[in-house]
Structure formats: structure tokens, C-alpha cells
């Protein structure tokens, strides 16, 4: 877990001082500079078309996003609805230098990056996955389903004022 998971750096050297007393220990969540947040709770998302030769189908990406948004929705007041038009969040696969100032490094490195709320871009590295279904880097696999940890919930509560 010492390798980067995404192209945007985590800030974990200084834990959050837990100003709201949300739990008994300091938090490890961090925010983008200036603590930007969504100004509404009903968010829309859309999936952009894939570049050629991507191991993940558009339907698989839609399903993965739907599952992830459902996990988030269960833990706060946000709702997420897919649309084909203008949207708050735009997700899709990209390759190498793709115009956002944060180029991907190809296979074996950074897998994804996302931008702060109000920007809403979420990019996945089209070359960071394997077509081998047995590989660790396979685009989909059956296994542990991740749930939000208390620290994730506390970060949302701190930023938006949600109650557990």
C-alpha cells in the first residue's frame, strides 16, 4: 500500500486535529486546499466514451460507478443519478497526457485521479489494467466489497455537517 493509488497526492503527514470531536482519535482524512465542497446534495454523473482498446466496457464502468455511488449514498445525504447531458461528475478512461495537466504514466503506475468538487472530473488510466482476468490489475474481480470506514464518514460529517 505504499504505492500511489491515484494521481492526486494524499495529505496524511499531519492528521486532522478532530475539531468537531467526531470520534476519540485524530482523523487521517484530508481535503483539497480551501476545503471545496459540493453546493448541493443531488449530484448527476455521466460516463465519457472510452478510447480504443480499453479492457473495461462502458457498461462495466457504469455498473462500478453506480455501486460506488450507492455506497456513498448510504452514508450521507448525497444522491447520484446518471445522465447523458450536462453533469456534475464526468468519469471515464484516459491515456497518458489527456489535457488535464495530470498525465497518466501507463501500465503499472497511477490508476486514477479525481479533481475537487465543482470540477467533478474522474479519470481512470486506460493502460493501467490487464486483460488477464486472473491478474491483480484485472479491470473487475470478485472479492471484498469495500465499505466506508468511520474515518471516511467522519470526514464527510466534518466537511458537510452530516450526522452518523
pLDDT in tens, 129-160: 766 565 555 555 555 556 777 777 777 788 88
Annotated binding site for Ca(2+): 88, 105-106, 125
Backbone angles phi, psi at 47, to 5 degrees: -105, 130
| Contact indicator for 51, 94 with CB cutoff of 8 Å | yes
Report domain 42-129+145-152's class. Answer: alpha beta
pTM assigned to the model: 0.72
- pLDDT reading at 40 higher than 70: yes
Annotated binding site: 6, 88, 98, 100, 105-106, 113, 123, 125
Annotated binding site for Zn(2+): 6, 98, 100, 113, 123
Amino acid at each position: 500500500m505504499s504505492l500511489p493509488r491515484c494521481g492526486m497526492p494524499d495529505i496524511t503527514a499531519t492528521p486532522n486535529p478532530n475539531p468537531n470531536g467526531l470520534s476519540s482519535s485524530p482523523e487521517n482524512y484530508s481535503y483539497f486546499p480551501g476545503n471545496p465542497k459540493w453546493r448541493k446534495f443531488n449530484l448527476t454523473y455521466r460516463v465519457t466514451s472510452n478510447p480504443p482498446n480499453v479492457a473495461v466496457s462502458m457498461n462495466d464502468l457504469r455498473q462500478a460507478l453506480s455501486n460506488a455511488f450507492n455506497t456513498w449514498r448510504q452514508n450521507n445525504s448525497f444522491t447520484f443519478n446518471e445522465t447523458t447531458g450536462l453533469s456534475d461528475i464526468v468519469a471515464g478512461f484516459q491515456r497518458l497526457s489527456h489535457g488535464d495537466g495530470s498525465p497518466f504514466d501507463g501500465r503499472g503506475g497511477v490508476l486514477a485521479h479525481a479533481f475537487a468538487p465543482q470540477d467533478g472530473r474522474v479519470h481512470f488510466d486506460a493502460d493501467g489494467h490487464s486483460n488477464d482476468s486472473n491478474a491483480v490489475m484485472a479491470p473487475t474481480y470478485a472479492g471484498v466489497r469495500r465499505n466506508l470506514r468511520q474515518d471516511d464518514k467522519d470526514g464527510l460529517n466534518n466537511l458537510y455537517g452530516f450526522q452518523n
